[in-house]
Structure 1
Amino acid sequence: MKLAIGNDHSAVEMKKEIKKYLEDKGIEVIDVGTNSTESFNYPISGYKVGKMVANGEVDGGVLICGTGVGISLAANKVKGVRACVCSEPYSARMSKQHNNSNIIAFGARVIGVETAKMIVDEWLNAKYEGGRHQVRVDMLTEIEQTQGLKVVDEQGQ
Structure 2
Amino acid sequence: MKIAIGNDHVAVEMKKEIIAFLEEKGHEVINYGTDSSENSDYPIYGEKVANAVVNKEAECGILICGTGVGISIAANKVKGIRAVVCSEPYSAKLSKQHNDTNILAFGARVIGIELAKMIVEEWVDAEFLGERHQTRVDMLTDIENKH
Distance across 1 between alignment mates of 2:135 and 2:15: 34
* Offset, 1:113: 0.3
Matched, 1:68 2:56: no
Q: Quote how far apart the aligned CAs of 1:145 are.
A: 1.1
Q: Which residue of 2 aligns with 1:94?
A: 94
Unpaired segments ≥5 residues, structure 2: none
Paired residue secondary structure (2:12): helix
Structure 2 distance, partners of 1:138, 1:40, is 35
Secondary structure in 2 matching 1:104: strand
Q: 1:99 offset after TM fit, Å?
A: 0.2
Distance (Å, rounded) in 2 between the aligned partners of 1:102 and 1:96: 7
Secondary structure of 2:143's aligned partner = helix
Task: Supply the distance in 2 between the matched residues of 1:126 and 1:25 (Cα, whole angstroms).
Answer: 15
Cross-structure match for 2:46: 46
Q: CA deviation at 1:35?
A: 0.7
Identity of aligned residues (%): 68
Deviations along 1:95-149, one digit per CA (max 9) or x if unpaired, are 00000000100000000000000000000111101111111101110111112xx
2:16 aligned partner: 16
State the TM-score, normalized to the length of structure 1: 0.92
Letter of the 1:60 partner, please give it: C
Aligned to 1:128: 128
Runs of 4+ in 1 over 2 A off after TM superposition: none
Matched, 1:143 2:133: no
Instruction: Give the 3-state SS of the residue equivalent to 1:81 in structure 2.
Output: coil
Q: Letter of the aligned partner of 1:31 in structure 2?
A: N
Q: Secondary structure of 2:17's match? A: helix
CA offsets, 1:36-92, max 9 Å, x none?
A: 111100001000000000111101000000000000000001111100000000000
Structure 1 stretches lacking a partner, 5+ long: 148-157
Which residue of structure 1 lines up, in the alignment, with residue 55 of structure 2? 55
The residue identity in structure 1 corresponding to 2:116 is A
Secondary structure in 2 matching 1:63: strand
Q: CA RMSD in A?
A: 0.6
Q: Which residue of 2 aligns with 1:28?
A: 28
> Counterpart of 1:155?
none
